[in-house]
Protein backbone atom coordinates (compact mmCIF):
# COMPACT_ATOMS: atom_id res chain seq x y z
CA UNK A 1 0.00 0.00 0.00
CA UNK A 2 1.28 3.45 -0.90
CA UNK A 3 0.13 6.61 0.85
CA UNK A 4 0.67 9.63 -1.37
CA UNK A 5 1.04 13.17 -0.09
CA UNK A 6 -0.16 15.74 -2.59
CA UNK A 7 1.58 19.08 -2.91
CA UNK A 8 1.90 21.99 -5.28
CA UNK A 9 5.14 23.12 -6.86
CA UNK A 10 7.30 25.04 -4.42
CA UNK A 11 10.63 26.76 -4.90
CA UNK A 12 13.60 27.62 -2.70
CA UNK A 13 16.83 29.42 -3.60
CA UNK A 14 19.85 27.10 -3.57
CA UNK A 15 23.49 27.26 -4.55
CA UNK A 16 23.81 23.92 -6.37
CA UNK A 17 25.49 24.24 -9.74
CA UNK A 18 23.34 22.05 -11.94
CA UNK A 19 19.91 20.49 -12.09
CA UNK A 20 19.56 17.33 -10.04
CA UNK A 21 16.73 14.94 -9.34
CA UNK A 22 17.16 13.72 -5.77
CA UNK A 23 15.42 10.76 -4.18
CA UNK A 24 15.21 10.97 -0.40
CA UNK A 25 14.45 7.75 1.48
CA UNK A 26 13.55 7.30 5.14
CA UNK A 27 14.07 3.52 5.36
CA UNK A 28 12.00 1.14 7.45
CA UNK A 29 10.79 -2.45 7.26
CA UNK A 30 7.18 -1.49 8.02
CA UNK A 31 6.96 2.05 6.66
CA UNK A 32 9.27 3.72 4.15
CA UNK A 33 9.04 7.40 3.41
CA UNK A 34 10.14 8.66 0.00
CA UNK A 35 10.39 12.03 -1.72
CA UNK A 36 11.60 13.36 -5.05
CA UNK A 37 13.07 16.86 -5.19
CA UNK A 38 14.29 18.58 -8.33
CA UNK A 39 16.98 21.26 -8.00
CA UNK A 40 17.92 23.44 -10.95
CA UNK A 41 20.71 25.38 -9.25
CA UNK A 42 18.52 28.35 -8.34
CA UNK A 43 15.43 26.68 -6.94
CA UNK A 44 14.06 23.27 -6.06
CA UNK A 45 10.66 21.66 -5.85
CA UNK A 46 9.10 18.63 -4.20
CA UNK A 47 7.42 16.80 -7.07
CA UNK A 48 6.43 13.59 -5.32
CA UNK A 49 6.34 12.23 -1.78
CA UNK A 50 4.58 9.51 0.14
CA UNK A 51 4.84 6.46 2.37
CA UNK A 52 5.08 2.84 1.24
CA UNK A 53 3.88 0.37 3.88
CA UNK A 54 4.91 -3.26 4.22
CA UNK A 55 3.46 -3.88 7.67
CA UNK A 56 0.93 -6.48 6.52
CA UNK A 57 3.48 -8.71 4.81
CA UNK A 58 3.92 -11.95 6.76
CA UNK A 59 7.66 -12.17 7.30
CA UNK A 60 10.65 -9.87 7.41
CA UNK A 61 12.05 -11.44 4.24
CA UNK A 62 8.76 -10.75 2.46
CA UNK A 63 9.05 -7.14 3.61
CA UNK A 64 12.57 -6.88 2.19
CA UNK A 65 11.25 -8.31 -1.07
CA UNK A 66 8.48 -5.72 -1.06
CA UNK A 67 10.96 -2.91 -0.37
CA UNK A 68 13.15 -4.08 -3.25
CA UNK A 69 10.22 -4.24 -5.69
CA UNK A 70 8.91 -0.84 -4.62
CA UNK A 71 12.34 0.79 -4.86
CA UNK A 72 13.02 -0.70 -8.30
CA UNK A 73 9.67 0.64 -9.52
CA UNK A 74 10.32 4.06 -7.97
CA UNK A 75 13.74 4.29 -9.61
CA UNK A 76 12.31 3.24 -12.96
CA UNK A 77 9.45 5.74 -12.84
CA UNK A 78 11.23 8.75 -11.30
CA UNK A 79 14.75 8.22 -12.70
CA UNK A 80 16.57 10.14 -9.95
CA UNK A 81 20.18 11.26 -10.30
CA UNK A 82 21.03 10.78 -6.62
CA UNK A 83 19.84 8.72 -3.67
CA UNK A 84 20.03 10.36 -0.26
CA UNK A 85 19.20 7.97 2.57
CA UNK A 86 19.28 8.04 6.35
CA UNK A 87 21.89 5.90 8.06
CA UNK A 88 20.61 3.36 10.62
CA UNK A 89 20.80 4.83 14.10
CA UNK A 90 22.12 3.02 17.13
CA UNK A 91 19.48 1.86 19.58
CA UNK A 92 18.99 -0.53 22.46
CA UNK A 93 16.87 -2.97 20.44
CA UNK A 94 19.34 -5.05 18.42
CA UNK A 95 16.61 -6.79 16.39
CA UNK A 96 15.08 -3.46 15.36
CA UNK A 97 18.50 -2.17 14.30
CA UNK A 98 19.11 -5.32 12.26
CA UNK A 99 15.76 -5.01 10.47
CA UNK A 100 16.33 -1.32 9.77
CA UNK A 101 19.80 -2.04 8.42
CA UNK A 102 18.43 -4.71 6.10
CA UNK A 103 15.74 -2.31 4.83
CA UNK A 104 18.34 0.37 4.16
CA UNK A 105 20.63 -2.15 2.47
CA UNK A 106 17.83 -3.31 0.18
CA UNK A 107 17.25 0.26 -1.01
CA UNK A 108 20.95 0.93 -1.48
CA UNK A 109 21.46 -2.29 -3.45
CA UNK A 110 18.66 -1.25 -5.84
CA UNK A 111 20.39 2.09 -6.41
CA UNK A 112 23.83 0.54 -6.88
CA UNK A 113 22.51 -1.87 -9.50
CA UNK A 114 21.61 1.20 -11.54
CA UNK A 115 24.93 2.95 -10.81
CA UNK A 116 23.07 5.63 -8.88
CA UNK A 117 25.27 7.71 -6.52
CA UNK A 118 24.32 7.05 -2.89
CA UNK A 119 24.77 9.51 -0.04
CA UNK A 120 24.13 8.52 3.58
CA UNK A 121 23.35 11.03 6.33
CA UNK A 122 23.04 10.52 10.05
CA UNK A 123 19.72 11.44 11.70
CA UNK A 124 21.49 14.20 13.62
CA UNK A 125 22.98 15.78 10.50
CA UNK A 126 19.61 15.68 8.74
CA UNK A 127 17.94 17.49 11.62
CA UNK A 128 20.83 19.95 11.93
CA UNK A 129 20.81 20.85 8.24
CA UNK A 130 17.06 21.44 8.10
CA UNK A 131 16.26 22.92 11.53
CA UNK A 132 19.60 24.02 12.92
CA UNK A 133 19.12 21.63 15.84
CA UNK A 134 20.56 18.11 15.79
CA UNK A 135 18.13 16.89 18.44
CA UNK A 136 14.99 18.33 16.82
CA UNK A 137 11.76 16.37 17.14
CA UNK A 138 9.80 14.96 14.21
CA UNK A 139 7.29 17.75 14.74
CA UNK A 140 10.00 20.41 14.47
CA UNK A 141 11.48 18.76 11.37
CA UNK A 142 8.04 18.60 9.73
CA UNK A 143 7.39 22.25 10.59
CA UNK A 144 10.67 23.39 9.01
CA UNK A 145 10.19 21.18 5.95
CA UNK A 146 6.80 22.82 5.51
CA UNK A 147 8.31 26.29 5.95
CA UNK A 148 11.08 25.56 3.46
CA UNK A 149 9.05 23.85 0.74
CA UNK A 150 5.46 24.93 1.34
CA UNK A 151 4.14 21.36 1.51
CA UNK A 152 1.37 20.80 4.09
CA UNK A 153 2.49 20.01 7.63
CA UNK A 154 0.63 16.71 8.06
CA UNK A 155 1.25 14.84 11.31
CA UNK A 156 0.10 11.63 9.61
CA UNK A 157 2.93 11.80 7.06
CA UNK A 158 6.05 12.16 9.21
CA UNK A 159 7.76 9.35 7.29
CA UNK A 160 7.19 11.29 4.07
CA UNK A 161 8.32 14.63 5.52
CA UNK A 162 11.40 12.90 6.95
CA UNK A 163 12.20 11.72 3.42
CA UNK A 164 11.88 15.31 2.17
CA UNK A 165 14.20 16.38 5.00
CA UNK A 166 16.76 13.77 3.93
CA UNK A 167 16.72 15.05 0.34
CA UNK A 168 16.93 18.65 1.62
CA UNK A 169 19.87 17.63 3.81
CA UNK A 170 21.77 16.56 0.69
CA UNK A 171 21.00 19.89 -0.98
CA UNK A 172 21.69 22.08 2.04
CA UNK A 173 24.82 20.12 2.96
CA UNK A 174 26.44 21.57 -0.15
CA UNK A 175 26.80 24.78 1.86
CA UNK A 176 27.29 23.37 5.36
CA UNK A 177 31.06 23.15 4.99
CA UNK A 178 31.30 26.66 3.56
CA UNK A 179 29.12 28.56 6.04
CA UNK A 180 29.37 28.96 9.81
CA UNK A 181 27.16 26.44 11.64
CA UNK A 182 23.54 27.50 11.95
CA UNK A 183 22.72 28.69 15.46
CA UNK A 184 21.05 25.96 17.50
CA UNK A 185 17.40 26.46 18.35
CA UNK A 186 16.76 25.85 22.03
CA UNK A 187 13.11 26.81 22.38
CA UNK A 188 9.96 27.28 20.34
CA UNK A 189 10.20 31.04 20.84
CA UNK A 190 13.35 31.09 18.73
CA UNK A 191 11.73 29.69 15.55
CA UNK A 192 10.70 33.13 14.25
CA UNK A 193 14.19 34.50 14.85
CA UNK A 194 15.74 31.45 13.15
CA UNK A 195 13.59 32.00 10.06
CA UNK A 196 14.45 35.70 10.06
CA UNK A 197 18.17 34.95 10.28
CA UNK A 198 17.99 32.23 7.59
CA UNK A 199 15.80 33.60 4.77
CA UNK A 200 17.36 31.10 2.36
CA UNK A 201 15.51 28.35 4.24
CA UNK A 202 12.11 29.84 3.32
CA UNK A 203 10.01 29.32 0.23
CA UNK A 204 9.69 32.11 -2.26
Q: Which of 26, 45, 48, 162 is catalytic?
A: 26
Q: Which of 177, 198, 168, 178 lies closest to 44, judged by CA? A: 168
Q: Which residue has the higher pLDDT, 155 or 195?
A: 155
pTM for the model stands at 0.77
Is the pLDDT reported for residue 91 higher than 80?
Answer: no
Q: Which of 161, 173, 199 lies closest to 34, judged by CA? A: 161
Q: Which of 58, 86, 192, 204 is catalytic?
A: 86
Are the C-beta atoms of residues 151 and 161 closer than 8 Å to each other? yes
pLDDT digits 0-9 by tens, 96-133: 888 999 999 999 999 999 999 999 999 999 999 999 99
192 is catalytic: no
Q: Which of 45, 48, 159, 162 is catalytic?
A: 159
86 is catalytic: yes
159 is catalytic: yes
Is the pLDDT reported for residue 176 higher than 50?
Answer: no
Is the pLDDT reported for residue 24 higher than 60?
Answer: yes
d(Cα 14, Cα 167) in Å, to the nearest integer?
13
Residues spanned by the domain of 120: 2-201
Give the CATH number for residue 154.
3.30.420.10
Report the domain count for the chain. 1
Are the C-beta atoms of residues 88 and 48 closer than 8 Å to each other? no
Amino acid sequence: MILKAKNKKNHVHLSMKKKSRILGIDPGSNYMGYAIIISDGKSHEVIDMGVATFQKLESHLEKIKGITKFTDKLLEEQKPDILAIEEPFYGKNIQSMLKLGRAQGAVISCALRQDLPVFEYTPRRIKQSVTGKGSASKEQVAAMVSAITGIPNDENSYDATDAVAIALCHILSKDLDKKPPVRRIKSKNQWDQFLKNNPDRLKE
